[in-house]
Amino acid sequence: MPNTNSMLASEPHGRSADPLDPTGLGPMNVVPLVPADVLGKHKALVETDTRFRSAARLLQSLWREDRDLPIGSFLTADEKRVRLGSRITEAAGRSGGNFLSPDIALLVRREVIYRELGALIEVDRLRTNLLSSMPLTFNLFAPLKFDLKQASRFAADLFPNLIKEMVAIRFEHAPRRGSAIYTGDYSAFDVALYGVSPEGRRVMIAFEIKYSESGAEPSPVRISDRQLDLTANTGIYAEPEDPALFGLGLQQLTREANLAQAMLDHGDVDEAYFVLSAPRLNHLCQEMGQAFAARLVPPEPGKVRFLSITLERLVEALANIGMIEHAQALHRRYLDFWQIDGELELHLAAEGRRPMPQKAPRRAHPEPESLEAR
């Protein structure tokens, strides 16, 4: 029996739906390994980037250029200011430039002001870092918070017969951060959807959204005693003493799965689903989800269920419920890597006409990992 409940959230088969694939090119099998001079041309060259993050950074740079948003910068460890194509200026960020619509930008401002007690929101990253998964989360889910009936349809497309009515959507969410009733730390979900099932049961679907992350992001200095206790005693792990659960890559999933289970045990909800969502071509995140699922026991009543659902599937669900323009905007900004193929065609054609090799572009300083990581 599979450890992930894949039958609940089916992935699309074959080519993308027409609204998300107007050219009929179909899905890519792998992101391109973008040449350094192409990245340098768009100020998107960062030496520590993985192959996927490099392509994703270029895609965000192209999105910024298409919208004439001013290029931003970051401060290196040796206090040098470096321009970066996947950033926008603070002024553009304050004006909502990182979001897909003025309405989403307004909701983000309100969410920052009314954030939960203890919520850790890096406002500068939220506003100016185009590559960050935090603005992606708002760009994806904010329109659903505007219309909970649409949110109910969205959940029904992903999880048939699970949600009858959506009642709330909460960003950067955790109950009573720091309380030993839950996890004794500041673990939180990127977004949580609360609904009622056809049988009247209270259901939570909590998401951890990844975009360009590799799973090698820094871990907490210390794991709380409550987290260790939950891991040992919840009954959701095949081998609770497995050190990999709090190792690089899996520790965040473990902490948030424990949070969902603690909410179940405390009686906050009757059913809990914890979802990891990342782009299909971010193979490191996909492998991370598979590794975590392999360490779980088969789901049982009263226990949190873990699922890994691609970001493409979430966007497809939006299109399926009629939010086609929004789905197209998300797809083009975050998932349409065919745009990079167009840049490569221009590069290869130009390279064939060059009389001699060009000087390699200067490599950008590595960005601080904490600014890119979730």
User: According to the model, what pLDDT value does residue 364 have?
Assistant: 59
Helices then strands, counting H and E runs in the chain, come out as: 14, 7
Q: 166-211, pLDDT tens digit by residue?
A: 999 999 999 999 999 999 999 999 999 999 999 999 999 999 999 9
User: According to the model, what pLDDT value does residue 78 have?
Assistant: 86
Domain boundaries, the chain: 33-88+337-374, 122-332
Residue 135 has pLDDT above 70, yes or no: yes
Distant-in-sequence, close-in-space partners of 138: CB < 8 Å, separation ≥ 6? 99, 104, 107, 108, 111, 126, 171
Structure tokens at 38: 């192409």
Residue 311 has pLDDT above 80, yes or no: yes
Residue 373 has pLDDT above 70, yes or no: no
Rounded-to-integer distance, Cα 232 and Cα 163, Å = 31
Rounded-to-integer distance, Cα 152 and Cα 249, Å = 31
Rounded-to-integer distance, Cα 92 and Cα 128, Å = 8
Residue 36 has pLDDT above 80, yes or no: yes
Q: How confident is the model at residue 217 (pLDDT cuts 50, 70, 90)?
A: confident
**Strand-strand pairing, 71-75 and 305-310:** unpaired
Q: Region 271-275: what's the mean pLDDT?
A: 99
Residue 3 has pLDDT above 70, yes or no: no
Q: What one-character DSSP code corresponds to residue 281?
A: T
How much is the mean pLDDT over the chain?
Answer: 91
Residue 17 has pLDDT above 60, yes or no: no
Q: Region 304-331: what's the mean pLDDT?
A: 98
Q: Region 310-332: what's the mean pLDDT?
A: 98
User: According to the model, what pLDDT value does residue 84 have?
Assistant: 98
Please give the residue that has the higher pLDDT: either 270 or 342: 270
Instruction: Give the pTM.
Output: 0.89
Residue 286 has pLDDT above 70, yes or no: yes
User: According to the model, what pLDDT value does residue 261 have?
Assistant: 98
Q: 53-76, pLDDT tens digit by residue?
A: 999 999 999 999 999 999 999 888
Lowest pLDDT segment from 128-142, 244-258, 341-355: 341-355
Residue 221: count other Cβ atoms within 10 Å of its Cβ: 5
Q: How confident is the model at residue 14 (pLDDT cuts 50, 70, 90)?
A: very low
Q: Are 20 and 315 in contact (CB under 8 A)?
A: yes
Residue that the structure tokens 């990127």 belong to? 190
Q: Region 225-230: what's the mean pLDDT?
A: 97
Helix (H) or strand (E) holding 354: none
